[in-house]
Structure 1
Amino acid sequence: MARIHWLGAGLSTVPGIRRLIERGHSITVWNRTVEKAQEATKGLSGDFDIRAFSLEALESDLKAGDLAVSMLPGDFHVAVAQMCLDAGANFVSSSYIAPEMRALDAAAKEKGLTLVNEVGLDPGIDHLMAHVLMDDYKNSPAFATDNAHYFRSYCGGLSEVPNDFCYKFSWAPLGVLKALRSPSKSLRNGKVYDVSRPWDAVESYKIDLEKGSETFEVYPNRDSYPFMDEYGFGKDWNVQQFVRGTLRYGGWSTAWADLFKEIETLQGEAGDKRLAEISADLWDKYALGEGEHDRVVLSVDLWAERNGEQVYNKSYVVDAYGDDTHTAMARLVSIPVSYAVEAVLKGEISAGVSAAPSDVTVAKKWLGDLLAAGEKMTIVDHLA
C-alpha cells in the first residue's frame, strides 16, 4: 500500500489528517514539533506514525509509489515536489502553483507522476465552483460569446463575531500582512485593473446568505488573469469583469487604516523585522481565543448581460462556522486536500502539474462530498 507522508500538522491540517487515518490509509505525519502531530492524531487508531520533520529525514523515507502532502510554508513546496520526482512519488499541496512548480510539469509527465496544487479552500473549492458554474452557463440557452460577462470570486476567513478590528487571526498574522504588500491584476470595465496595494481598491459587496443579506468589503488579490483561461473564458468573449479577491467584514478598511499607513513605509530587512513585530503584537491582541469560533465566507458569481439585460446570474456561496472541534478554515482547507490525495492514489488525476480538477463530474462530486460532510453551500439563481 502506498504511504502518505503528510508534512505539517498545524491547526489548518488536522481534519484532513484525521479523515485519511479514519478511512484506513497508511500515513506518516511529519512535523517539527512531534507533540503537535501527536495532538492532531489523538484518540485515533490505524496505520499511522509520527516523525520529526526535516527534508533529509523525508528524503531517506520517501519511496516510489508514495505520496507527499506539503502543508508546510510555501518555500518548501518545490523542494518537496522535486524530492518526489526523484523518488518516484506523487505530490499534493493546497498552495498556488509557483512558476518553479510549473517548471516541473514536463518531468512529472515523463515519469507518470502527479503534482497537484490549489486543492484547499482558496485556491481550491473556489476553482471547483467556478468550473461548475461555467459548465452550467455554457450549457444554458443564455450562452453567447458576445454577451457581456462578469465573474467575481471572493473569499475571507473571519471571526464568528465581528470586533473593533473587524478581524481575528486563527494562525500567525505574518502571512496576512505580507499579502497586503502585494500588487494585484484583474479585469474591470473591460480593461486591465492594476492595483499596487489592496486598500486602494476596497469596495462594498453584498451577499445573500442563509441568515439574510450581509455587506462586506472586498479587494482583488494576486493576478486574476491566468484563471480566465483556467475557467474556460474564451479569448473571443466579451468579458467586462474578472476578479478573484479577498473578503472582510464591513468597516475593515477603516479599522486597519493606521496599519496600512505603516505597512506602506516598510522596506528591506528592517521593514521585514518590523512586520514580524507587528505580527506578534496583532497575535497577542486579536488571536482567536479559547472558545471562540471562526467563520469562512466564499462567494463565486457568474453573470451575463445581453443588450443591458441580465440573461444569466448565479452564485455559489459558502458561509461556514467553526465549532469546538475544528475551525471552519481547517475543515475547508484540509478536507479537500484529503480528497485530492485519494484521487491521486486512485489514478483519477492525470500526470503533470495541475490545480483543482476542472472536470465538472469530479468538481461536483467533491462539492457534494463536502455537503454530505455537513458543510453548507448553496447555488443561488438570481433570475429565478
Structure 2
Amino acid sequence: MKNILIIGAGKSSSALIKYLLDKSNEEHLFLTIGDISTENANKLINNHKNAEAIVLDVYDKNQREKLIKKADIVISMLPARFHIEVAKDCITFNKHMVTASYISEEMKALDAQAKEKGLVFMNEIGLDPGIDHMSAMQIIDKIKSNGAKMLLFESFCGGIVAPESDTNLWNYKFTWNPRNVVLAGQGGAAMFIQEGTYKYIPYSKLFRRTEFLKVNNAKFEAYANRDSLKYRSVYGLDNISTMYRGTIRKVGFSRAWNIFVQLGMTDDSYTIEESENMSYRDFVNLFLAYSPSDSVELKLRSYLKIDQDDLMWEKLLELDLFNPKKKIGIKNATPAKMLQKILEDSWTLEENDKDMIVMQHLFGYEINGEKHQIESSLVVIGENQTYTAMAKTVGLPVGIAALKILKGEIKTPGVQLPITKEVYEPILKELENHGIKFAEKEVPYLGYNPNHVMG
C-alpha cells in the first residue's frame, strides 16, 4: 500500500478525501488524515477500510515527524502559514509534498534542496491558485505555439452562492475560510497593467473600483486582486500590455462591503477591550462618533450618507448589526474577527445549500497583423454544504496531482506551481471527467473590457 498523509480536514478537504478513497482499492492507497480534531475527518472517511483519522497538532514535532516518515507523499491542507514546518520535514525525510497555497518565500527557499533530492513540491494546485494557472497556460501555450503575440490576459474567479440557494440581500454565503473573505484585499495596493499603463488601487478604494463581466449571460462584478503584475513572468508574458486578475462577486456586493472597509471593521491589526461582552450594536458603535442623543442607526446613516430606503441600509439590517442582545463572545478580538463572527451568523451555508464557482479568462493576441480574443469560462455548482463546488475545485486538482506524483507521471523536481504541460495537460483532462470543463469561444478583440470603471 502507498501511504498518503493528509494534514488538515477543513472545508476544502471533502472532495480530496472522497477522490482518493474512491481510487484507494485500484491504486492500493491508504490515507492517514491528521487534524487537531478528528470529527470532520471521521465523517468524511465514513468507516472506509483504507483510511484512518488521527489527532495531530502540527506543532508537535515528534508526532509530525513520525507521521511524515511513514508517508509516501504528504498533502498539506493547513492554512498557508503552517506549511513550512511540514515542508522542512519532507526535505529531511525525502517525501514529495502537495499544497493548494501560494508559494511563500520560505517555501521557495527549499527549491534547491527539493531538486537535489528529486522531490516534487507542488503548490498552487487548487482552484485560484491552481485551475486558473493550468487553464490559462494551456491556452497561452497554444496561442504562442502558433507564432502569435500575446497582448492581453485578464482572469477572474469567485466562489459565490448558487442561484437556487441565493437567499439573502448580499447574494453571498461563505464557501471557504470566512477569515480570508473578511481580510481580502489587505496588505498592499492592487497592482495591474492596463493598455501599457500601470495602475494601483489602495485598499481604501478597492471595492469602489470594480468592473463588470458576463459569464453564461449572467452579470457579475470583480474587484482587483492584490498583485497581478507578478504573473507576467510566471506565465511568460513579460511584455504584455494588459494583465489583470480579479475576484468575482454578484453585482452590488462590493459597494455594500465597502461600508465595512470605510468604518474600519475589517482591520485585523489591533484588539478590542472587553470584546467578549460587546453586543453587535456595541461593535458598530465603536466606529462612530459619540453622541448623547443620536441613535447608532442615525449616526451610521449620517456618517456614510445612506438613505433609509437605500438597499445598502436593508443589507445592514439583514445582518442584525444593531441587535443589543447578541454578544460577540470572543476575547481580545480584532475588529475583523468580530465582523467575521457577525457575518457567520447570516452567511453560513445551510445543509442543502449549493455554492457556485465562476471563472473567466480573456486572452487577446495578434497574428498575421490581425487581433483576436478568446473568452474561456467555467461554472461549477456544488452538491451541498459538505461537497461544495469550492471543495471540488480545490480538492480534486490536489488529489489528482498527488496521485500522479506518486505514480511517477509528474516527476520534474523542485518547488513549483502547475504551469508546465507535464502537469496541466493530464490534470485538466481528468478534471473534465468530474464536470470541470471550460467553454471557449472567439469574441471580437476589444483590447480592454469596455465595462471597466477602474480609471
TM-score, scaled to structure 1: 0.90
1:47-66 correspondence to structure 2 within 5 Å: 48-55=51-58, 56=60, 57-63=63-69, 66=72
On the 8 A contact 1:71/1:93 being kept in 2, the answer is yes
Aligned to 1:165: 170
Name structure 2 gaps, 5 residues minimum. Answer: 273-332, 446-455
Which residue identity lines up with residue 45 of structure 1 in the other structure?
K
Of 372, 377, 400 in structure 2, the residue corresponding to residue 312 of structure 1 is: 372
Secondary structure of the 1:169 match is coil
CA distance in 1, matches of 2:371, 2:235: 20
On the 8 A contact 1:113/1:351 being kept in 2, the answer is yes
Give the Å deviation of 1:117. 0.2
Give the Å deviation of 1:9. 1.0
CA distance in 1, matches of 2:419, 2:7: 22
CA distance in 1, matches of 2:130, 2:139: 15
1:1-384 correspondence to structure 2 within 5 Å: 1-24=1-24, 25-42=29-46, 44-46=48-50, 48-55=51-58, 56=60, 57-63=63-69, 66-140=72-146, 143-144=148-149, 149-161=151-163, 162=166, 163-183=168-188, 184-197=190-203, 199-200=206-207, 202-209=209-216, 213-233=217-237, 235=238, 237=239, 239-263=240-264, 266=267, 268-270=269-271, 273-304=334-365, 311-324=371-384, 326-347=387-408, 348-359=410-421, 362-382=423-443
CA distance in 2, matches of 1:377, 1:246: 18
Give the Å deviation of 1:11. 2.3
Name structure 1 gaps, 5 residues minimum. Answer: none
CA distance in 2, matches of 1:380, 1:39: 41
Give the Å deviation of 1:376. 4.2
Structure 1 pair 115–64 and aligned structure 2 pair: CA distance change class (3 A):
farther
Which residue identity lines up with residue 85 of structure 1 in the other structure?
I
CA distance in 1, matches of 2:100, 2:268: 29
Secondary structure of the 2:153 match is strand
Structure 1: which 4+ aligned runs deviate by more than 6 Å? none
Which residue identity lines up with residue 273 of structure 1 in the other structure?
T
CA distance in 2, matches of 1:312, 1:362: 27
On the 8 A contact 1:64/1:88 being kept in 2, the answer is no
Structure 1 pair 191–201 and aligned structure 2 pair: CA distance change class (3 A):
farther
CA distance in 2, matches of 1:332, 1:28: 22
On the 8 A contact 2:219/2:251 being kept in 1, the answer is yes
CA distance in 1, matches of 2:125, 2:177: 21
Give the Å deviation of 1:44. 3.0
Give the Å deviation of 1:321. 0.7
CA distance in 2, matches of 1:222, 1:265: 16
CA distance in 1, matches of 2:221, 2:108: 32
Greater shift in the superposed pair: 336-345 or 250-259:
250-259
Which residue identity lines up with residue 77 of structure 1 in the other structure?
H
Structure 1 pair 73–130 and aligned structure 2 pair: CA distance change class (3 A):
same
Q: Calculate percent identity across the aligned residue pairs.
A: 30
Structure 1 pair 376–134 and aligned structure 2 pair: CA distance change class (3 A):
closer
On the 8 A contact 1:171/1:287 being kept in 2, the answer is no
TM-score, scaled to structure 2: 0.76
CA distance in 2, matches of 1:12, 1:267: 24
Give the Å deviation of 1:177. 1.3
Which residue identity lines up with residue 206 of structure 1 in the other structure?
L
Give the Å deviation of 1:10. 1.4
Structure 1 pair 22–225 and aligned structure 2 pair: CA distance change class (3 A):
same
Write the deviation string for residues 127-185 of structure 1: whole angstroms up to 9, x where unpaired: 011111112211336x13xx6x1111110000113431131112442111112323322
Give the Å deviation of 1:61. 2.1
Q: What is the aligned residue count? A: 371
CA distance in 1, matches of 2:266, 2:176: 25
Greater shift in the superposed pair: 270-279 or 122-131:
270-279
Structure 1 pair 354–2 and aligned structure 2 pair: CA distance change class (3 A):
same
Secondary structure of the 2:241 match is strand
CA distance in 2, matches of 1:195, 1:202: 8
CA distance in 2, matches of 1:371, 1:64: 33
Secondary structure of the 1:326 match is coil
On the 8 A contact 2:110/2:415 being kept in 1, the answer is yes
On the 8 A contact 2:268/2:336 being kept in 1, the answer is no
